[in-house]
Each structure stands twice: as structure tokens, then as C-alpha cells.
Amino acid sequence: MPNIKEAQQILEHHFGYSTFRPQQEEIITNVLEKKDTLVLMPTGGGKSICFQIPALLFEGVAVVVSPLISLMKDQVESLRANGIKAAYVNSSQDIIDERRVIEQAINGEIKLLYVSPEKLFSITDTWLKDVRVSMFAIDEAHCVSMWGHDFRPEYTQLSTIRRQFSNVPFIALTATADKTTRKDIIKQLGLKKATIYISSFNRENLSLEVRASVPKKKKIKEIISFIENRPNQSGIIYCLSRKQTEEIANELRLSNIEAQAYHAGLPANKRAQIQEDFITDDLQIITATIAFGMGIDKSNVRWIIHNNLPKNIEGYYQEIGRAGRDGLPSETIMYYNLADLMVLKKFADGSSQTPIYEEKLNRMLNYAEATSCRRKILLAYFGEDLKQDCGNCDVCKNPPQFLDGTIIAQKALSAVKRTNEEIGTNMLINILRGSSNQEIYSRGYQNIKTYGAGRDISFRDWQHYINQLINIGVMEIAYDEGFRLRITQFGNEVLFRNRKVKLTQPVDRKTQKAKKEKKTKKKLTKNEQIFEKLRQLRGEIAKEQGVPAYIVFHDSSLVQMANDLPITEEEFLAIQGVSNVKLERYGKPFLELLQKISGKKLSTYEITYRFYQQGLSPEQISLERDFSITTIFSHFAKLYEEGKDINLRDFITQKEIDEVYEAYQELKEDNALKPYFEYFNETKPYYNIRLALTILRKEGKIKPREQV
């Protein structure tokens, strides 16, 4: 049975990492023991390696069930870049390509085969019977549960596959599943005594920020300013509707920011092209509906903006998780207002799972309205307890200031009461601010006692206060009655019994914005300048090879290169994410650039060693370097003594080594070569003597003269 030591060797050779991330080793061990496994690991946490490494160690082909064609293509490209034989079968292929993959699978010429659930069912009783299936990996496993945020009915049929392949281990993986969904995944897939692994959901590198009730025009200005201060950074703006994606993309282009909208209403070929351009870094910014990005392994997304309130925490967590998958600092901002809530409530009401959706929406709203560490709330939803405040969310960075909001609440409640609870939020604010619009006068609201009672508070600040009054239960929205406001029991106690209410003060966005702009408009540091040069080189190589830039190297690898400035192949291999395969494919141009940047030069021995690693013979190296063969062999000897991977026995026989050893017994000389040359009557070349002595010394058979 394969063991974890072999898994470690694959991790280093194919993936370029010296150590496993938390829980990966335990998960891989469990799979190698052919036990069913459920893995909950955050986006970017390294889920794929948990099934990819066992797949390489098992005999046969691992079948990976994946929901999207783009995800399959992305994963397969990444695996091939690491020297791993993988393929996919889906509707995007023609018959010839599909037949070729089928033959490879049947002949055991690939180790991983990616399929959609629908495709899996169509092949189970046909050619899959001829494939030696080593294991099944169910990616995005939350899709199997109606309690999950992205339920897909076709996933529920996977239990039949589990029964059919009863002796094959199953591993189910997801980044987003609460306790109820976890139980349902195990039940729906028919997993046998599954071991559950739950990694920390804490993505410390992601900053969290929420901005409430920002007017549309102001929001666009903020987004434009945000992007302009982050040149060359890749980001996604998520929107609730197709119309919004188009509007925001157009506004960005009017400000000379290249952006494209992505939604289901576009032709399939255009969607595919936009996605391809985004993955390959030809397009940095996408405005998209939430369908975009599921499973795409683009590691260098630096920011995510939600234009609206997401419908649940699972979806929100998955979407922000598409930023910073390489572990580098990344930003997330969520905008929301009451209009978002109304739209989402309508979606929920039109569903067969209305109570579930409403509860999840309420939890999302609680997060958005949080006055304590947002990360604590986010992690608590997934059953994780964060002991200390994170220090990397807007609440931690700018703790809210509380005020006695009783009078504010009473003014709002009085206006709602005096209008017989027949108004919505905007009308309430207009009444409180003493607006002179036609609707107020047509209804006679200018005559009520509280008309103009809150004119000293801005429209936006009133939105801020009313949002809080709704969220703490002072008022509620009657969604089924035109979104009219209703006073709750709590609200009656505030209005008639003077029950106290605490509210947070609105945040001064102008001050925050000024701080952020001052921070981001700094000059690039030396390391950042080096990173940019490495990034440009990576982009050129990626275009030449027709692969996404992060397939060549992740940003995190480039950052480490910029910090460490490796100039030898050994130093380059020490960079996380640099495997032997990637060293061979991409090492030369990167090392040449890094050597030029650092000003360091390779020693003459290291240059010889590089030629040796390329497979050149001593004679060929001698010609390349215009050195004598004796000098080249002296380099070999020194490199061998230093522990380099070089086999001197390829250039000398055992008989020749024994002859030199016999001479040593008589001469007792280890350092000087001339006595040996004379001993052999000048018939044995100097390099032959040097190689023999070096091998004997390394093997401990002779010692330096002074130690004899």
C-alpha cells in the first residue's frame, strides 16, 4: 500500500512544495487507506492535492466529478504543467478527442479523469467498466445537498455510483458547508463511515469590509478610485443582475478601465472568451453575476467587490475566497442597501425552500450589520471559534462609535405610526427630512407632527439608522405588502415606554477613502519592482505556451523569488511552488533574469554543473566552455565533494579506483597528484587519479594526509 513518504516525494517533485499544509497529510493518509473521506477546506486551502496525490500513488485512474467545464480544463492544465497525466471528458470535445481520452483511460495512460455528473452517468454502464478506477473524488460536494447554497439535482444521483463501485474509496470535497449540509453530503453520497476533516475557514490574508447605503453614483466613484489605486491587479465585481454587470463595466470603460461583463445572457462563445482572457491576465477586471468563477483556480485575484448583498453566507464566503488563493494579502468589499434585501426576499419567496432561504438571508444581513469583528461572525457560521478579533476587517480597524439612539428611533417610529404603517423606508426618510415632493403632499404627510423632525440628519445617515432599527427588531418589513414598515413589540416599547436603543454612528467614508488613497499611492519598493519584472516575464512565457500565467508560477512564488533572488538551480528549487518539472520548463529564463537583477554570477563550478544537468558529456562541456577535459573533471570532483548530484563512477571504472587505492597504500598521499602520476609512470591521466581519490575520500577509505 502506498505510504505518506511516497506522497511527500510527489509533493516535492510534481508540485514544488517541501511540506504539506495543515491536515493534508492526514487526509491523504486516510484516502491511501481506502477509507471514505469528507473534506471541508477553504478556497485556496489545497483541497485538490488531497485527491491528486493519492491518484498518482494508486494503480489505475482516479475519476474526478466536477460541475463545470471551465473547472475541469483549468485543473487539467495545472496538472499537465506539473508533469502529471490528466484529461477530461465533456461536451466541449469533438468525437475524436473524446475517443482519444477514452483509449488513454482504458489503457491506464492517464492518472486523473475529470467528468461532469451527467457525463459520469452516461459512461458508467459503457466504457467506464473497462477502466481500472482507483478512486472517486467529488468536487464541490455541497452541490449534492438541498441545504447547500448551490444545490444541483444531478449530484443526488451520485449515490448510485457509490453503490456500484463499493470497493473504491470516495473523497468528497467542499469549501462551503454548514453542519446540516455536511450531514446531508454524507447521506446523499452514501459515504461509508466517512472520516470528516474540517480545516480552519480563517483566510487571514483576506481583508473584510462592508459599506452600507452608498448611493449608486457615489458607489461607482468609489469603485473607480479603488481600481485606479491598484494598477495591474486582477479583480471581480459581483452583481445581482445582468443589467448591473453591463452598467458597471460600461462605467469603468468610460474611466479608461478595461472591464467586461459576464452573465448567462451573453453568447456562449463570448462568455468563454471573456473567461479565457481573465484567466490568462489579458483582462484584469470582470463584472459578473455570481455564476462566474466557480472552481476557477486563478490564484492571483487580488480583490473582490460585491455590488449587492449576497443571498447567503456560504455563497459570499466562496466568492470572496476567489481572491488571494496564493496566500498573498487581498481585499474584499461588500456594498449593500435595503433595496438589495427586497430583491433577495422576492427570490426567496419564489422558491420551494423559502424558509431555508429566508433564514440564510437573515444570517447574511446580520453579518453585514455587524458591529463586532466580522471574521468571528463568518467563522462562527461554519462552527469555528476565533478567540481574538482578527484585526483585518473594517470593524476591527475602525471600531464603531455607539450613541443613544432612543430619540432617533422614536422619531422614526412616530412617523410610521402616524402614517398608519403604510410607508416604506424612502418615504419615511423623506417625511422625517421634511421633503417637499409631490407624493408627500398628495397624501397629506406634510401635516403630521413628525414631518421635518429629522431634517438635521442626512438621507444617507437616516438609511444607516433605519437599517439598524430593522435589524435589531424595532421595525420590520412587510415584504408581502409592498415592503411597508411595521412596528414590532420591541418598537412599541421604545415608542411608548421609552425603552433605550443603542445605535452606531455612521462612518465617515471620506476620511477612510483619503487614508486608503494615501496608503496606496506610494512608490514601488525594490522588491515590488523585481516582482513586476518577474510578472512580465511570466506573462510572456504564458502567452507563448498558451496557458494562464499562474500555471507557470503563482504570485506567491514570484514574491519569494523577488525576496530571495535565487541564482542557482538548487536555490530556485527551494522556492515554494517550483517543482523539478517547472525548473526544467521555465527555470532558465527566470534564473537569467534573477542573475541579472541580483548582479551575482554563477561560479565556474556551477556553470559546469548546469551543463552536466542538461545531459552534456564531459567532452561536450569542454567544447562549450573552451576548457581542457582535465579542468572539467576537476570541476566534477569538487562538485561531487560538495554533495551535488553527480555520479563520478560514470567516468571511471572500479579497477581504476582499486589501482589508485593500492598506490595510496604505498604513497600515503591524498592532496598532491604528481606522486601518483609518477607512480604510474605517467601513463594514468591526472583527471583519472583525481576522480579516484575523490571517490575514495567520499567513501571514507582514505583520509587527508595530516590525519593519517
307 has a pLDDT exceeding 90:
yes
Q: Please, which pLDDT band fits residue 515 given cuts at 50, 70 and 90?
A: very low
Q: Which fold has domain 526-601?
A: DNA polymerase; domain 1 (1.10.150)
Mean pLDDT for 478-484 is: 73
Q: Which fold has domain 4-198?
A: Rossmann fold (3.40.50)
Mean pLDDT for 344-352 is: 74
pLDDT at residue 519, rounded to an integer: 46
CA distances to 8, 27, 50, 214, 272 from 53, rounded to whole Å, are 9, 11, 6, 47, 30
pLDDT at residue 517, rounded to an integer: 45
- Lowest mean pLDDT of 293-297, 515-519, 541-545, 552-556, name the range: 515-519
Q: Do the two domains 4-198 and 526-601 of this chain adopt the same fold?
A: no
Alpha helices per DSSP H over 487-568 = 489-497, 509-520, 526-545, 549-552, 555-564
Q: Please, which pLDDT band fits residue 275 given cuts at 50, 70 and 90?
A: confident
Helix axes 406-418, 459-471, angle to 10 degrees: 90
Mean pLDDT for 281-291 is: 88
In percent, the amount of the chain with pLDDT more than 90 equals 45
CB 275 within 8 A of CB 262: yes
pLDDT at residue 200, rounded to an integer: 84
- Lowest mean pLDDT of 92-106, 373-387, 557-571, 653-667, name the range: 373-387
707 has a pLDDT exceeding 60:
no
Alpha helices per DSSP H over 201-337 = 216-228, 242-254, 268-279, 313-320
Alpha carbons within 13 A on the beta-carbon side of 477 = 21
The average confidence (pLDDT) of the chain is 87
- Lowest mean pLDDT of 201-205, 316-320, 510-514, 697-701, name the range: 510-514
pLDDT at residue 150, rounded to an integer: 67
pLDDT at residue 351, rounded to an integer: 65
Mean pLDDT for 301-324 is: 92
pLDDT at residue 333, rounded to an integer: 98
273 has a pLDDT exceeding 70:
yes
Phi then psi dihedrals of residue 237, to 5 deg:
-110, 115
In percent, the amount of the chain with pLDDT more than 70 equals 94
Report how far residue 358's alpha carbon sits from residue 10's, in angstroms, rounded to the nearest whole number: 46
Is the CATH number 1.10.287 carried by domain 612-707? no
pLDDT at residue 207, rounded to an integer: 97
Q: Give the tens place of pLDDT for each residue, 250-261.
A: 999 999 999 999
705 has a pLDDT exceeding 50:
no
How many other C-beta atoms lie within 10 A of the C-beta of residue 103? 11
CB 528 within 8 A of CB 597: no
Closest CA to 205 of 309, 304, 312, 334: 304
> What one-letter code names the amino acid at 135?
M
Mean pLDDT for 275-292 is: 85
- The predicted model scores a pTM of 0.70
Mean pLDDT for 572-588 is: 89
CB 134 within 8 A of CB 62: yes
**What would you report as the CA-atom Rg of the chain, rounded to the nearest whole angstrom?**
33
Closest CA to 150 of 127, 166, 174: 174
* Three-state secondary structure string covering 447-458: HCCCCCCCCCCC
114 has a pLDDT exceeding 80:
yes
Q: Which CATH number fits domain 206-397: 3.40.50.720, 3.40.50.360, 3.40.50.300, 3.20.20.120?
A: 3.40.50.300
189 has a pLDDT exceeding 80:
yes
CA 379 to chain centre: 18
706 has a pLDDT exceeding 80:
no
pLDDT at residue 308, rounded to an integer: 94
Report how far residue 44's alpha carbon sits from residue 317's, in angstroms, rounded to the nearest whole number: 12
User: Strand runs (DSSP E) across 373-424, as ranges?
Assistant: 402-404
- Which residues make beta-bridge pairs with 487? 475
CB 39 within 8 A of CB 185: no
355 has a pLDDT exceeding 80:
no
Domain extent listing, the chain: 4-198, 206-397, 402-506, 526-601, 612-707
Report how far residue 43's alpha carbon sits from residue 299's, in angstroms, rounded to the nearest whole number: 10
113 has a pLDDT exceeding 50:
yes
Q: Please, which pLDDT band fits residue 293 given cuts at 50, 70 and 90?
A: low
Higher pLDDT, 541 or 670: 541
CB 248 within 8 A of CB 223: yes
Q: Give the tens place of pLDDT for each residue, 166-185.
A: 889 999 998 877 777 888 89
Element (DSSP H or E) covering residue 286: strand 285-288
Closest CA to 261 of 229, 232, 285: 285
Is 163 exposed, middle or buried (CB count within 10 Å of its CB: 0-12, 13-18, 19+)?
exposed
Give the three cell numbers for residue 708: 593519517
pLDDT at residue 567, rounded to an integer: 86
Report how far residue 552's alpha carbon sits from residue 588's, in angstroms, rounded to the nearest whole number: 13
Helix/strand/coil percentages in the chain, nearest 5:
55, 10, 35
pLDDT at residue 708, rounded to an integer: 35
161 has a pLDDT exceeding 60:
yes
pLDDT at residue 514, rounded to an integer: 43
36 has a pLDDT exceeding 90:
yes
Higher pLDDT, 60 or 671: 60
Q: Give the tens place of pLDDT for each residue, 608-631.
A: 988 888 889 999 999 988 898 999
| CATH number for region 402-506 | 1.10.10.10
Q: Give the tens place of pLDDT for each residue, 413-431.
A: 999 999 999 999 889 999 9
Coil, strand or helix at 96: helix
Report how far residue 605's alpha carbon sits from residue 404's, in angstroms, rounded to the nearest whole number: 76
